[in-house]
Amino acid sequence: MSETNSVSRVVIVGAGQAGGEVAGELRKQGYTGAITLVGEEEQIPYKRPPLSKGFLAGSVTEEQLYVSPRAKLEQLGIEFIGNARVEKIDRSRKLVVLADGRELPYDKLALTTGGRARMLTLAGADKPNVLPLRSIADVKKLQPLCVAGQRAVVIGGGFIGLETAAVMLKLGLHVTVLEGLPRVLARVTAPEVSAFFERMHREAGVDLRTGVQISHLEGEAEVSAVVLADGSRIAADFIIVGIGVVTNTELASEAGLTVDNGIVVDEYARSSDPDIVAAGDCSNHPSQFAGRRIRLESVQNAMEQGRIAARTILGKGEAYQNVPWFWSDQYDLKLQMVGLSTGYDQLVLRGDPATQRNFAAFYLQAGKLIAADTVSRPAEFMLAKKWVAEGAVLDPAQLADESIALKTLVPIAA
């Protein structure tokens, strides 16, 4: 990649995990010019995963969420403008316009605008006790409601819904989870893994209902019940909506950048404008691993692609090579996932998810390991991560055989 190194002003829109990473990596790479990090939220970059885990539970403080302390940003000479929304990118004048009219010129612009919580379109979904869970501000609204004995209804049986349900149950609330699809985590795991998590939640005391359709929300000033299509009525003190993310790509599309399920970037995180990079949840990148374009919602992607974007800004082009991985904590269970299971033709279970509390699920496609989910088996996850990255072909019978230590297995081919 050739690019002149005449960059002296970098503006980053979106002070989330990807934005923070771009800023930090620019300094790590020796860039001494101006960096301005603009964020709509008041906080400096912070980690979202604990929001539905330790932060909601009260075991993690707000300061512990910060990617690095505010003093570190100052020390690195990174200007942070919080509570500020970028309304427009003027590509011809190479500047961004903030909501208060301020203009920030750039030589290179990074878009790390992430996503926002998808909201229900049902009538009543705008009532004050119907809450998303995406930001520190969201959790601060939720925390005072999370009092033992309260009735919470979680709409959505994805990671955020299930993690939140687990925390609230431990806090002593009555928790109902409503999932429209026939099983939880349906988009990301095999039916056997979904069934495992359904069992864990039900055993813990969650009223978990799958394949349900919501008819309407009942209540005047606040929602007091969720009514299902079959007529059943679930009384609620508050509702949490965990039905996915809408990417913040409007800024990019209004500026004429190519957007298609995220801001379209190349393997160097460059958008359709060579002076604008994009990274994290808001971007759609070509994945060598997947053999197609993908958009990921994970910390690992936000950080690794953020670093690639920073290097591209400095003309130190390096292609993004990424094997996706993800984790989720629910109760004492640690789910770790690697690869993309879409298109698997054989599932090999190591351990029995129907009776045990830990196991591994290996997803094979024509014999090749394309993905794995492990529950509370960190050592097996590390091996799976390596094999998935290598595209290893393993003997399914040996993979399933718990009498053979996984680390002694040798791939048939890689």
Ligand X SMILES: Cc1cc2nc3c(=O)[nH]c(=O)nc-3n(C[C@H](O)[C@H](O)[C@H](O)COP(=O)(O)OP(=O)(O)OC[C@H]3O[C@@H](n4cnc5c(N)ncnc54)[C@H](O)[C@@H]3O)c2cc1C
Q: Is there binding between residue 158 and ligand X (CB under 6 A)?
A: no
Strands 263-264 and 207-210: unpaired
Shortest distance, position 75 Cβ to ligand X, whole Å: 22
Q: Is there binding between residue 49 and ligand X (CB under 6 A)?
A: yes
Candidate ranges 36-44, 68-76, 309-317, 339-347; the one touching ligand X (CB under 6 A)? 36-44
Could you tell me how many residues make up the chain? 414
Task: Tell which one of 13, 206, 370, 375 touches ligand X (CB under 6 A).
Answer: 13
**Residue 104 structure tokens:** 């920030």
Shortest distance, position 295 Cβ to ligand X, whole Å: 10
For ligand X, the closer of residues 36 and 113 by Cβ is 113
For ligand X, the closer of residues 105 and 396 by Cβ is 105
For ligand X, the closer of residues 224 and 322 by Cβ is 322
Q: How far from 283 is each of 44, 226, 286, CA to CA, in Å?
A: 21, 35, 10
E runs forming strands in 82-222: 86-90, 95-98, 103-105, 108-111, 115-117, 130-132, 151-155, 174-179, 207-210, 214-218
Task: Tell which one of 10, 12, 38, 406 touches ligand X (CB under 6 A).
Answer: 38
Shortest distance, position 327 Cβ to ligand X, whole Å: 5
Q: Is there binding between residue 52 and ligand X (CB under 6 A)?
A: yes
The span from the CA of 278 to the CA of 247, in Å, is 12
Asked whether the beta carbons of 375 and 196 are under 8 A apart, the reply is yes
For ligand X, the closer of residues 136 and 228 by Cβ is 136
For ligand X, the closer of residues 3 and 87 by Cβ is 87
**Residue 186 structure tokens:** 């349906």
Asked whether the beta carbons of 239 and 223 are under 8 A apart, the reply is yes
Chain positions 215 to 274 lying near ligand X, rule: CB under 6 A, are 248, 251
Task: Tell which one of 11, 26, 44, 48 touches ligand X (CB under 6 A).
Answer: 48
Chain positions 328 to 367 lying near ligand X, rule: CB under 6 A, are 328
Total binding residues for ligand X by CB under 6 A?
37
Q: How far from 31 is each of 7, 14, 21, 70, 78, CA to CA, in Å?
A: 9, 20, 14, 20, 11
Cα 77 to chain center, whole Å? Answer: 28
For ligand X, the closer of residues 16 and 353 by Cβ is 16
Asked whether the beta carbons of 383 and 338 are under 8 A apart, the reply is no
Task: Tell which one of 31, 35, 37, 41 touches ligand X (CB under 6 A).
Answer: 41
Query: Computed from CA positions of residues 100, 103, 106, 108, in that sequence, does the dihedral angle turn out positive or negative?
Result: positive
For ligand X, the closer of residues 269 and 302 by Cβ is 302
Shortest distance, position 203 Cβ to ligand X, whole Å: 22
Strands 292-294 and 283-287: antiparallel
**Residue 314 structure tokens:** 């400095």
Q: Is there binding between residue 16 and ligand X (CB under 6 A)?
A: yes
Shortest distance, position 46 Cβ to ligand X, whole Å: 8
Q: Is there binding between residue 18 and ligand X (CB under 6 A)?
A: yes
Task: Tell which one of 157, 280, 324, 353 touches ligand X (CB under 6 A).
Answer: 280
Candidate ranges 8-16, 25-33, 72-80, 365-373; the one touching ligand X (CB under 6 A)? 8-16
Shortest distance, position 371 Cβ to ligand X, whole Å: 15
Asked whether the beta carbons of 129 and 238 are under 8 A apart, the reply is yes
The span from the CA of 133 to the CA of 135, in Å, is 6
Q: Which of 171, 149, 156, 154 is nearest to 239 (CA)?
A: 154
The span from the CA of 53 to the CA of 56, in Å, is 6
Shortest distance, position 167 Cβ to ligand X, whole Å: 11
3 state SS of 225 = strand
Task: Tell which one of 10, 11, 15, 349 touches ligand X (CB under 6 A).
Answer: 15
Task: Tell which one of 22, 37, 39, 276 touches ligand X (CB under 6 A).
Answer: 39
Chain positions 288 to 327 lying near ligand X, rule: CB under 6 A, are 297-300, 302, 326-327
Instruction: Give contact residues for ligand X (rule: CB under 6 A).
Output: 13-19, 38-41, 48-49, 51-52, 85-86, 112-115, 133-134, 160, 248, 251, 280-282, 297-300, 302, 326-328
